[in-house]
Amino acid sequence: MSIRLQLLIVALTTLVLPWAGCQYARELETALRDSQEKSLLASADTIANALSAQPQRVFRDSSGTLGFAAGRGDLYVYPLRSQPLLDGYRDDWSVGGNPTSLPTATGYGARVLAGSTERYLYLYIEVDDTHFDAEPSNLHPERDRFDRVDLTLQRPDGTQESYFFGTSAPGLIAAQSIVKGDRGQDRAVEEPRIQAFWLQTAAGYHVEARIPLSFVGSQLWVEAEDGRGSGKAGVDAADVPDGGRLFFTTAGLDELLSTFIRDGTRATVIDANALKLGVAGNLSANPPGAADEGAESWYRRFMSVDTSSFPLQSSAPDRLGGNSVTAALAGKAHAEWVRGAASQDLLLTAAAPISSDGQTRGAVYLEQPGDQLLALRDRAVTRLFNLTLLATAAAVIIMFGFATWISLRIGRLRNAADSAVGSDGKIRLDMPESAGSDEIGDLARAFERLLARLNEHTQYLRTLGGKLSHELRTPLTIVRSSLDNLESEGLRDDQRRFVTRAREGAQRLQSILSALGAAARVEESIKQAERVNFDLRELLSSAIAAYRGGFPQSHLVLETPSDPCFIRGAPDLIVQLLDKLIENAVDFCPSAGAITVRLERTLGNYVLHVQNDGPPIPQALHGRLFESLFEQRQGRDDKPHFGLGLYIVRLVAEFHGGTAVAANRADGGGAIFTITLPLI
């Protein structure tokens, strides 16, 4: 794994910053939530205390310790904002609730909804009775059966009055009551102040009735009865004397409440039965910053407080539920987070008991949307997130850049180390990055010291041959000059034989010595060579002609371009290069083989190929053939070979800015030496 990648991974650890930020935001949210709970609870307490001080403004009457029970036909009277039209439909009732079913033992379906304006109590009764049994026109109350709805009202003064609705034809009707006739016979009398509309539908009939509030006390029994059969639903005063109780909202309570609360909060006062007595305020106040909620919501997805564990808000149009309501009605203020109807909506609810005379008679219930908090949290988190992401990105980029820089430097060092010892054995002493003051600089300097030491050693080895040849030359000259002198002394033939032998030995020693020193001499003379422009083609033709004379047994072929090939260099050196290549080729070429010298012009270069038939170059020698004093050839003569020839070839090629390469011929039938020389 590259350093860059490693550091990149290290840099990714800065991602812990946003995570920490999220944790912090979560704690922040919890703290905010707590403080919101406390403040809402305090508000609830304050309102409850204020209301406790004036119970007459909260509770309509002081009775009613008995709980609300639909089974007893109890009715909650919704406050109506406008007077509904008596038409048998309830779509003009501004009420959220649905009619409640009347208790029945016979399966006869009837539902009732009650509402009130300042002056009237309205009833809306639905009865599932598809067969209309009309009221006979000449009614005998004891005998006649017809579809009817009985009402028993407890008057404010405590007396009870019974009425019934029945009709011979749907439409506007009045309630009727049974009175004793003069002849002891019951008869029906219309009560024109209690109006109703009888509407016949496919599923049954509706009765929408209007009763002046002055008729209505705290109880109202409703019973629907089928005209045929025994279908009956509802309660009557005789059977359930404590049933049919009416639960009114308190007039003026809404206005009272609205003075306590501010926008975005809804206050509800409930009585001990959790039925709503008054409601004020609304939840729909838009929290600031709600507009960019969509953009922020994705944060919530993976870091928000888990809201699914919150209870769903249990709230009916007429009553409230939930833990806080229960707790408050038990006399204890309580706050709770609940989920609203829409799953995303979070609501904070708080309830505080309203008590009078040491008795809990109701509660104040406050609701506040959690959106504001979420929005606040989201804004904080968004900023945090953006900042830390920015910081992380910056850290990653900086780390990456730094790593790139480091790895570039190391790469440069590595490349320099790779190429420090060139193919010609020359050592480059300068290392990149050695000026650096850090560990890489130290490393570079260590490399430099190493290379300097290596160079000294190489230099020593390189000059050893020259030095040796120089140092040995004097003693050798002593030997040879002594032999010269000895020969002049007039020797006997047998003595002369030994002298000749000694001279031959000295001669050989001398040629070895001059070969040892030759590399240095060649390098020096090449250095001093002068450059001129000359025609390589002409030089080749003349030289090859000479070689044909020099090596008559070899078959030399020359192929050149048709036009002159001018290069800049030292013609003498090029001839020397040719000498060595041709000598080498002749040495390896079998007597019947051919030596081909071909000159080509390529892009920017002249390429000189010298190829010969003969054995291929062994694989092990590739790349080493052109080294100084390297020679490996199967012995053919007893001349000392010091492998200077191809070394000179390379020196000359390099002097001209070119290269020398040896390879085997594609057909394996010989070797091919390729020299490239740049064009002028």
- The residues of the shown chain that bind another protein, judged by CB under 8 A, are 470, 473-474, 477-478, 480-482, 484-485, 488, 510, 514, 517-518, 521-522, 524-525, 528, 530, 539, 542-547, 549-550, 571-572, 575-576, 578-579
Nearer to another protein, 89 or 534 (CB): 534
Listed residue (342, 385, 336) closest to 26, CA to CA: 385
Whole-number Å distance between alpha carbons of 211 and 216: 8
Minimum Å gap between C-beta 596 and another protein is 17
Distance of CA 533 to the CA centre of its chain: 68
| H or E segment to which residue 56 belongs | none
Query: Min. distance of Cβ 484 from another protein in angstroms?
Result: 4
> CA 269, CA 320: separation in Å to the nearest integer?
10
**Main-chain dihedrals φ then ψ at residue 602, nearest 5 degrees:** -115, -175
In the complex, minimum distance from the CB of residue 662 to another protein, in angstroms, rounded to a whole number = 22
Which is closer to another protein, CB of 143 or CB of 527? 527
- Closest to another protein by CB, 252 vs 564, is 564
Q: Residue 612 in contact with residue 671, Cβ under 8 Å?
A: yes
Give the integer Cα–Cα distance in Å for 599 and 540. Answer: 9
Residue 8 or 575 with smaller CB distance to another protein: 575
- Cβ partners under 8 Å of residue 523, min gap 6: 651
Residue 657: CB minimum distance to another protein, A: 20
Q: Are 554 and 595 in contact (CB under 8 A)?
A: yes
204: Cβ contacts below 8 Å, ≥ 6 apart: 109, 126, 127, 128, 129, 130
Comparing CB distances to another protein, the nearer of 110 and 539 is: 539
Using the minimum distance from each CB to another protein, give the nearer residue, 62 or 481.
481
Q: Cβ 527 to another protein, closest distance in Å?
A: 9
User: Do strands 75-79 and 110-116 pair parallel, antiparallel, or not at all (unpaired)?
Assistant: parallel
Instruction: Give me the least distance between CB of 560 and another protein, in Å please.
Output: 14
Give yes or no for a contact between 249 and 58, defined as CB atoms under 8 angstroms apart. no
**With respect to another protein, which residue has the nearer C-beta, 222 or 540?**
540
* Residue whose CB is less far from another protein, 258 or 525: 525
Residue closer to another protein, measured from CB, 48 or 599: 599
Per DSSP, the three-state class of 325 is helix
CB of 608 to another protein, least distance (A): 14
13 versus 514: smaller Cβ distance to another protein: 514
Contact 151, 162 (CB under 8 A): yes
For the record, the structure tokens of 273 come out as 């039965």
Judged on CB neighbours under 10 Å (0-12, 13-18, 19+), 528 is exposed
What are the strands, taking DSSP E only, across 166-231? 171-180, 186-200, 205-212, 220-225
SS (H, E, C) 409-454: HHHHHHHHHHCCECCCCCECCCCCCCCCCCHHHHHHHHHHHHHHHH
Burial class (CB in 10 A: 0-12, 13-18, 19+), 445: middle
> End-to-end alpha-carbon separation of the chain, Å?
47
Residue pair 202/130 in contact (Cβ under 8 Å)? The answer is yes
Least distance to another protein from the beta carbon of 451, Å? 28
Q: Are 432 and 413 in contact (CB under 8 A)?
A: yes
Least CB distance from residue 507 to another protein, whole Å?
Answer: 10
Structure tokens at 629: 């004093």
DSSP code for 92: T
Tell me how far, at minimum, the Cβ of 616 lies from another protein, in Å.
27
C-alpha span between 629 and 413 (Å, rounded): 31
Q: How far is the CB of 565 from another protein (least distance, A)?
A: 14
Taking the complex as a whole, the smallest distance from the CB of residue 461 to another protein amounts, in Å, to: 20
Half-sphere exposure of 452 (CA within 13 A, CB side): 8
Q: What is the identity of the amino acid at 3?
A: I
Look at the alpha carbons of 333, 339, 340, 346 in this order and tell me if their dihedral is positive or negative: positive
Residue 356: which residues within 8 A CB-CB, separation 6 or more? 52, 55
Considering just the CA atoms, what is the radius of gyration of the chain in Å? 59
CB of residue 407 vs another protein: minimum separation in angstroms? 48
For the record, the structure tokens of 216 come out as: 């209505």
**Which helix (H) or strand (E) segment is 630 a member of?**
none
CB of 488 to another protein, least distance (A): 6
CB of 416 or CB of 518, closer to another protein = 518
Q: How near is the Cβ of 651 to another protein at its closest, in Å?
A: 12
Q: What whole-number distance in Å separates Cα of residue 287 and Cα of residue 370?
A: 9
Q: Which is nearer to another protein, 157 or 489 (CB)?
A: 489
Choice between 400 and 534, CB closer to another protein? 534
**Quick one: 445 or 480, whose CB is closer to another protein?**
480
Nearer of residues 374 and 565 to another protein, judged by Cβ: 565
